[in-house]
Amino acid sequence: MTRDDIIKITKEQNINFLRLQFCDINGMMKNVAMPISQLEKALDGMMMFDGSSIDGFARIQESDMYLKPDYDSFTILSWRNKNGVAAARLICDVHMSDGTPFDGCPRITLKKTLAKAKEMGFTMNVGTEAEFFLFKMDEDGNPTTETNDKAGYFSLDPDDEGTNCRREIIETLESMGFEIEASHHEVAEGQHEINFKYADALTCADNTLTFKWVVKAVAKKYNLYATFMPKPIFGINGSGMHCNQSLFNLDGSNAFFDESGRLGLSEVAYQYIAGITKNARGFSAITNPLVNSYKRLVPGYEAPVYVAWSASNRSALVRIPASRGMGTRVEVRCPDPTCNPYLAFAMMLNSGLDGVANKMTPPKSIDVNIFAMTQDEKDEAGIASMPANLQEAMDELKANPIAKETLGTHIMEKYCMIKACEWDSFRTAVTDWEIKTYLEVQ
């Protein structure tokens, strides 16, 4: 997509408003809306905003920042069409007032890691599977945790608002250029999954943020609330975001595939797996960023609690799907959909590259149900557990050299500060569980 292409499309499609979107450190989409009269200024990267007002961005004395759009991200927002007047969006990188890239921009952080991979001879492809719940709204329009269906995994779609909502989400995504591969009802009541085609890591991160935005916007039309919260209801499965990832050689071949290799995997694939398993505890605070994330990562709900890998075992953190050839990939199952996809992909990629650069050997694959193993059996097999809570995850993050290298000083410091406040708020809160358990008996 070129500058002239965008100008031409906006005239032909009667686009009157443009959204410039970017991502903060927490993975929240931000945007500035402007009339189309400002299009050329926006395309030239001259739209300024106050970075000191964005959590984790700039200090007040260096607050002027610019949004530099990625022309290839230009998309018409089909659901914003009113009486023939349309809107569009561009995803942007954040730059400082002197024109240099901002070290605190997550999108730029991923770009830096992808540049490192390219120097090593690789590109990265990713496909995400972000699960979500649809909940009813109350009379005042506030979200509840009451699901709108009683269906289960792969249930035949009932004729209800949830199904109609999911159908419109798919139609909206397709109108925005997504290639939808499948959708289905997930294990828990009210839980859904929509799978779209993999892409290069940067595009996939853009798509993942856009996907979450569209899901929430469409759900609201049906008086439903869509949430990507990892564990909104006790006692049932939570929502994950499995990340299927592969390295490709610069000639376009899949670097993970070797027809003559054990399991059809190349040495690069095994080294990548080794890097992921070595650094998994260290990147957990990025892939699973909330206090609530660790309510999902517990045994008994199909969530990957244990640091292990397997070609067939879904209780392991890393699974190798059966597809081979161009479809050979590694599925990392711990991330949840509240993570910042730019930072999560950067951390997982650099962790895998750590294994490749240092020619690591992965631990022995675990091809039995880890949930059924005793602690002694897990200890004997060398199977570590993922962090049990956000504080433990943050300790691992701060101790991990790959994290410091990937995130850089600015994001590392700001992220740790934000999460320390979040943990302290949780640690000192008095919960309903405590009131019910202790108030009358103590």
Catalytically active residues are 50, 129, 131, 186, 193, 242, 314, 331, 333
Residue 152 tokens, joined: 């289960």
Query: Which residues are paired to 30 by β-bridges?
Result: 22
The beta strands (E) that lie in 40-170 are given as 47-50, 64-69, 75-82, 85-96, 122-137, 143-147
User: Which tokens in the block code for residue 230?
Assistant: 């990892």
Most distant CA pair in the chain, distance = 72
Residue 43 main-chain phi, psi, to 5 deg: -65, -25
Q: Sign of torsion, CA 75 249 336 30? A: negative
- Distance of alpha carbon 206 from alpha carbon 30, whole angstroms: 13
Other residues' Cβ atoms within 10 Å of the Cβ of residue 142: 8
How many Cβ atoms from other residues are within 10 Å of residue 307's Cβ?
24
CA-closest candidate to residue 202, choices 335, 38, 336, 92: 92
Burial of 410 (0-12, 13-18, 19+ CB in 10 A): middle
Q: How many CA atoms lie within 13 A of 79 on its CB side?
A: 17
Cα-based angle 341, 230, 52 (whole degrees, multiple of 5)? 50
The 10 Å Cβ neighbour count of residue 119 is 9
CA distance 241 to 259: 29
Cα distance between residue 294 and residue 387, in whole Å: 8
Dist. CA 135–CA 428, nearest whole Å: 29
CB 144 within 8 A of CB 114: no
* CA pair distance 187, 93, nearest whole angstrom: 37
- Cite the DSSP H helix spans in 161-253: 161-175, 201-221
Which tokens in the block code for residue 183? 């959708």
How large is the C-alpha radius of gyration of the chain?
A: 22
